[in-house]
Structure 1
Amino acid sequence: MSPEVPPEIFHHQLQQVLDLLGIFVFAAAGALMAVRKNFDVIGITLLAEVTALGGGVIRDVLIGAVPPAAFTDLGYFGTPLLAAGLVFFLHPQVERIMSAIDVLDAAGLGLFCVIGTAKAYAYGLNPIPAAALGVTTAVGGGALRDVLAREVPMVLRWDKEIYTFPALLGAGITAALIEFDLFGPVTATAAVTFAFSFRVLALRRGWRAPRAWRRNSGTSAEEQ
């Protein structure tokens, strides 16, 4: 399959700005976790870079877009360094605006699941695998961050507001739009907005994914 869908959804400059904003917010979240874990400056920087770029690097390696964009564009690699430096010196102030960061993180989630799906499709994947890599783009960095920080990845935790499902819906909508030749800047924006809104609603209303049927909602002793 030839790349019929361009990896860039919006005008080049606009998409680059959106990419960098999303990377910055993801990196700040990673750096904050490192601060809470009492990591040193290397650990803070590493978690910032991994959180921001890990999902995209996994996607690019799997689809053969090598070297990954994270290593060919200085802006992509440098933005997490900026976020790490900001959190290193100003983490108390950044902690105070966590609710705003959560909203921006939701925007990054929506943007990256759509962009990741479109890029994977453009490199020859069928819609379902492309959507899977779209989800990976959005949540893969956070999962790697949690593993490095010796935490249960947030994408697997039942006691946190749903995170992966909005990305899954956004990627699925994107794949369907591409398959039916309806994908473009307007519909892509709608898919991003849908995933973003779903995540924000989950945060505001405390939505969580269901556990196994008839499983008690309380945390049992073996889960401690």
Structure 2
Amino acid sequence: MTYSEIKITFNQDMPINGIARINYSIGTSTAQILETWKTSRSKSKEVTVGTPTGIVGERSAINFLQAFNLDYNSSNIFEVVRISNIVIIKSINPNLKFNDGQAFIESGHSTASISTFFSGPCSKTYIITIDGMPDEDVTYDLMFLPDVGRTELGKAVKLNSAGQKQIWIDVGSGPSAQATGTDSFELTLINTSATPKKVSGNIGFSNCEV
């Protein structure tokens, strides 16, 4: 019998230094499965890039499965199945749970940059530009302080045919709903090993209407 499971679809052939990471928990303890693609596997937690097959992502799935079994499944605590470019991992431990059923594939492609569209005494508008591959799937975490209610975790977006996506972010007395103080944010791309993958912005203000 199996319990929690996760399905990973490799919709691209992973490049050198690409990363796959899967978070899971056992009771109150948390852990992470982490594999990094290299020209050839020379130590644990490395996956050989290899030569692509006729199916996009299939070679990455094959080699990931081999590395995963060596690094994390020597005691057969998981049931693992591969279908073409898809890997399905199932836990046989009822206390082991994959967090949110998510696997983060870091392609090494996308980067983030920031510019200011408007700056005033009480508010500021930033433009975040994500650059990557055409139609690339990108995931980011967006953290706000002090207004944590605006936080977005694991937000998935698709880049356009030119490999770009713009995100507009307002900070200031309006979003933070205070007349005096600071408002800040930090955006982190979580499916890339490229740099820069983290940008941030802030504003300090006083005597502003809310």
Q: Is this a same-fold pair by TM over 0.5?
A: no
TM-score (norm 1): 0.25
Q: Which has the larger radius of gyration?
A: 2
**Greater RCO structure (CA 8 Å; 6+ sep):** 1
Q: Which structure: greater helix fraction?
A: 1
